[in-house]
Amino acid sequence: MTAKVEEIRLNLPHIELAAHLFGPEDGKPVLALHGWLDNAMSFARLAPKLDGLRIVALDFAGHGHSAHRAAGASYLLWDYAYDVLAVAEQLGWERFSLLGHSMGAIVSVLLAGAMPERIERLALIDGLVPFTGEADKAPEKLGEALKAQLALPNKRKPVYEAIDRAVEARMKGVGAVSREAAELLARRGLMPVPGGFTWRSDARLTLPSPLRLTRAHAFAFVQALQCPVSLVLAQGGMLAAEPGVRKILEGRPFAVHELPGGHHLHLDDEPGAEAVAAIFRSFLLE
């Protein structure tokens, strides 16, 4: 698999982010947003198949080669939404489309719902709204999050003696992936340390959320969307079997496409990437 890709750095007022840049300078602007604990390599198969687009595939803060947030800062979904907006500002993109997978799709929906005047189109892969929580559970969840934060200094990342061991661990992680996909993610996500390799990602990314949106909050963001939306559901992914997702989609003017494959169907293999590209290629160029 070979594709022309440029490594870029984005020096935002509050943080430096890394990204992969695909496509011609005059292509339609698209920001590609990966999932939790992934990185810009999530789009290594898909982006080269989307001709005519200027795709900036970000490493979210705390992921890949992007900087970690300052001490005391957080990794909440709305923090990522602000980062995306700040990137668009630096690129001079007044209106742009979002291509999001999993957590990246959720951030895309939040941003598009909050600032519909900035977002032209949403191309979503196996992601729509965040895990929700109702008000009666909020004190308990905040308590769990605070305890986890206090315990974090004593938590150590795993160290793998060889890259193959890290790849095998990623294959079995949340949102299991193929070996080829794990190798791509590991290529950008690992760093050498004494004794072997560990993940570059900020350990704070594994902390539980201190506060979750309610179902009503999440639904409000979907209702607020004004741009065209194309959603790919993986038949073996995280959304297809969720009845709550069907309820949210009910009556919404979204194009929903169910495809065979797992949660990372756009990265696991070439046929999966091509199937997703066939759906998004014309949609993002309209």
Structure confidence by residue, pLDDT tens digits, 207-222: 999 999 999 999 999 9
Query: What integer best gives the mean pLDDT of the chain?
Result: 95
Backbone angles phi, psi at 102, to 5 degrees: 55, -120
102 classed as catalytic: yes
Mean pLDDT of all residues in 149-163: 95
Query: How many residues are present in the chain?
Result: 286
Residue of 42, 102, 108, 201 with catalytic role: 102
- Count of C-beta atoms within a 10 Å radius of residue 137: 12
Largest CA distance in the chain: 55
Rg (C-alpha) for the chain, rounded Å, is 18
Q: Helices 163-171 & 179-189, crossing angle to 10 degrees?
A: 120
238-258 pLDDT, tens digit each: 888 787 888 888 889 999 999
Q: Which of 155, 186, 192, 156 is nearest to 168 (CA)?
A: 186
> What topology does CATH give the domain 6-133+214-285?
Rossmann fold (3.40.50)
Helices (H) and strands (E) in the chain, counts: 9, 10
Beta strands in the chain (DSSP E): 6-11, 16-22, 28-33, 53-58, 96-101, 119-125, 190-193, 196-199, 229-236, 255-262
Q: Where are the chain's structural domains?
A: 6-133+214-285
pLDDT in tens, 135-145: 999 999 999 99
What's the pLDDT at 3? 67
The candidate with the shortest Cα–Cα distance to 106, out of 252, 231, 257, is: 231
Residues pairing with 119 in the sheet: 96
